[in-house]
Amino acid sequence: MAKELVQFRNLETHFHTSSGVVKAVNDVSFSIREGETLCVVGESGCGKSVTAMSLMRLVETPPGKIAGGEILFEGKDLLKLSKREMARIRGNDISIIFQEPMSSLNPVLTVGEQITEPLMLHMLMSKKEAKKRAIELISMVGIPRPEKIFDSYPHELSGGMRQRIMIAIALSCDPKLLIADEPTTALDVTIQAQILDLMRDLKQKLNTAIMLITHDLGVVAEMADYVVVMYAGKVIEEAPVLELFKDPRHPYTKGLLKAKPVINKKTERLYSIPGQVPNPIELEANCHFHDRCEFAMDICRQKQPPFRSHGNEKHKTACWLYEKEGDA
């Protein structure tokens, strides 16, 4: 088994607002192994992106603050590094692809300038060497006429091409971990498939670990080796992808899978999980899903369930349905 590259240990990331403290990431723990694609799944606002931004140390302070826990990268706690030490890792060992490439690329710099910058900064290449490598990268992500694209500006490219350029920039320094935050959300279906195929091919060639953040279970089924499900700032289930789809355990995970539309299946109406996500400022020390759960018991409203395996060591769940009497 591949060794652990990243370990989140009891991570707490809070945002201080005029209404109170939002615990966007609340005691989150999971690991990413070398060469593995781990998908983080959940509704908007569940803490997926904030977990990734905490890993990159890009949480804006104020209002945000990493309030506790550890993020170990190759055994080194990133939260204890200086800004200069973190800058050496960011974009070099760990890269990120954001979901909207137009707002991530600098509109006044050419594509070539934006790809060569990290190469000259982290890899200490000359301008000539960086240009040669940049053209290779543009070609590698499947864009024709790379020499012409090198001198183009972001607004001159299509959405799919811009996202490919973002992937080229992210992969320029051969990172050990690539974070992809909803990388296909703003793209049409055909381009989405091309981007996912590209990421899968590059992972196989480079053995880069991928942390893929998404709410699309179709993407999860296609890309993931391992899945982490988040709800209201907490991890509520994690398992290998086939195990999760075959035997989902948490009622929320079951609801997500049930809500997925199926082609050629005639139903009166798409299923949706009843109720609303709880107010992140008013979260209590109980199961945060209990108001929406058809299986909710008294203990669900009183205490948070422990997060642990029940039979299968790799399949962990936080749900009172799987706890034996007396465990509470």
Cis bond upstream, residue 107 (ω within 30) = no
Q: Over its length of 328 residues, how does the chain's per-residue pLDDT go in tens digits?
A: 678 999 999 999 999 988 888 999 999 999 999 999 999 998 888 889 999 999 999 998 888 899 999 999 999 999 999 999 998 898 889 998 877 766 778 889 999 999 999 899 888 899 999 999 999 989 888 888 999 999 999 999 888 888 889 888 888 888 899 999 888 776 677 777 887 888 888 788 888 899 999 888 888 998 999 999 999 999 999 999 999 999 999 999 999 988 877 766 665 677 788 888 888 887 888 999 999 998 989 999 999 999 999 877 889 999 999 886 445 4
- The predicted pLDDT at position 264 comes to 64
- The predicted pLDDT at position 1 comes to 65
69 phi and psi, to 5 degrees? 95, -175
CB 237 within 8 A of CB 317: yes
Cis bond upstream, residue 154 (ω within 30) = no
- The predicted pLDDT at position 105 comes to 87
- The predicted pLDDT at position 326 comes to 41
- The predicted pLDDT at position 313 comes to 83
Q: Nearest to residue 225, comparing CAs of 56, 3, 33, 24?
A: 33
Q: Where are the domains of the chain?
A: 4-93+173-322
Residue entry with tokens 């490439």 = 101
Class of domain 4-93+173-322: alpha beta
The answer, as to whether pTM is greater than 0.75, is yes
- The predicted pLDDT at position 204 comes to 84
Cα of 133 vs its chain's centroid, Å:
28
**231 has which bridge partners?**
234
Residue entry with tokens 């299923």 = 271
- The predicted pLDDT at position 230 comes to 95
Question: What share of residues in the chain are helix, strand, coil (percent, to 5)?
Answer: 35, 25, 40
